[in-house]
Amino acid sequence: MSSLHLPQTRLLFFLLGLVVTFVLIRVSVRLIRAKVRWWPGNITTGGTHIHHVVFGTVFLLLGGVTGIAAPDDEHGVRVGAAALMGVGAALVLDEFALILHLRDVYWSKDGRLSVDAVFLAIGMTGLLLLGARPLGYDEFYGEGVAVRVLAILVNLGFAIVALLKGKVWTGLLGLLVPVLPEIGALRLARPGSPWARWRYPEGSGKLRRAYRREARIRQPLIRAKIRVQEFISGRHDED
């Protein structure tokens, strides 16, 4: 195996660990929720429910430390460590909403944030596998050091603005895809986003347009996204 392809191989096994574990854990929690008798159910010790984020944290640490400690020529070990990190990342991100809210919101609407986090991780890893480079705009903007540094800073600024405008996917994926953060930063902010609260006064034309755009374009897309996600991960409560 050529050393040139080793980073891509590790990324591939990380992605496989992430996707396979996410699918398996979602099958497990759906069987638990359905109270299927033959399925083992939640892990409980001393009356305490052990969430799978705990195991995910352990796997992430084991995979990370193993990948750092393994010699460069131990390709199999480093690939295995990457896969273990993918397993751990899936278990942690699948309960991202629980970590954020510090309470069990797994099957509530707030719990959809966990599914978003997993899908975003899969998307960004997939882009890296396809050759995208974090803030690596040299092929797009040229190879001069000053130009590259300026391009990185400018695009990072646009990505931050896109995030402030409530466009999480655009802002984060824009770190890997040139021009995408500029599009997100220049378009109207989403209602309720920090940018809209700071820059769009109540009753202003921009705020009215933002609400119209949200109802006409974004909400149908969000409903479609939720249907796809819940087909894979299970239906969340509507209350």
Domain ranges of the chain: 3-129, 136-187, 191-239
The pTM for the full model equals: 0.79
CA dist., res. 95 & res. 101, Å (int):
10
CB 162 within 8 A of CB 170: yes
The string of pLDDT tens digits covering residues 75-121 is 899 999 999 999 999 999 999 988 888 888 888 877 888 888 999 99
Residue 237 reports pLDDT greater than 80: no
pLDDT of residue 90: 96
Strands (E) in the chain, as ranges, are: 44-45, 48-49
